[in-house]
A = this chain, B = another copy of it.
Amino acid sequence: MTERATAYRRDGLHGQLVHDLGRQIVTGELPVGAPLPTEEQLGKVYGSGRSAVREATKVLVAKGLVVSKRKVGTIVQPETAWSLLDPDVLAWRYENDPTALHLDHLAEMRVVLEPEAARLAARTKDRTVVRAIQESYHRMEETLDDPDAFIVHDLAFHRAVVEAGGNDLLVHLHSVMEVALAAARQVHTRNVRRNKRTLPAHRAVLDAIVAKDADQASALMREVVTGAAHDIRRDRRTR
């Protein structure tokens, strides 16, 4: 089993600082163009020394959230400069009141990724990765009445498909999207009826992959993820 994209560890003083400042920036509490407090001030506020503050801001610089200049200070960068695909940035965005637009973008990304991933999976010659997909599917069947478990296996199914494609970049991108998905808890609605409806669609994808019918696998996967996107939108309206 491949690992998930990993977030910056929250332990240690500077880890805390990174998350605190990062969240404030991404949520707009610290507005674009504004300077952070000086290193000395931050040190005082957080009861830490300058070194910890500096190590934290260096990480934020690496994520494109700020730039530092002598005498000017460290300035919050415009959103276009942010590393949106960084697991932390994504988590900060999606765990703090993501807008409807942001959720749509997330769903769109799945529509971008997964059909093509299914196509690649159908072309693979490695039978073991296909078996991983099958196993996840069977677990979905078995846990049809246990929504929480179902979600886990549903995610595993999609991940297995992407991994079967054998493309590093794609696998990584997918794992990053999972982080965002997990942060935006609302996306996973526990709904047995809906699960019963989507199960056959997953089955169809699996069969197409096993049959090595790439076009079909892609088209069917497209159905699955666009269906999920519509569900998200519907949930939003009816709430």
Which A residues fall within an 8 A CB radius of B? Answer: 2-3, 5-6, 8-9, 14, 18, 51, 54-55, 58-59, 61-64, 79-87, 102, 105-106, 108-109, 111-113, 116-117, 120, 167-170, 172-173, 176
Contacts and interface: CB of A to CB of B under 8 A. Distances in A.
Contact of A116 (B9, B59, B83, B112): B112
Contacts of A86: 83, 86
A63 B64 contact: no
Contacts of A14: 58
How many copies of this chain does one complex carry?
2
Given A59-B59, A59-B62, A106-B169, A85 B2 contact: no
A84 B8 contact: no
Given A3-B80, A112-B117, 10 more contacts: A8-B62, A18-B62, A51-B54, A59-B61, A84-B168, A85-B85, A105-B169, A105-B170, A108-B120, A108-B167
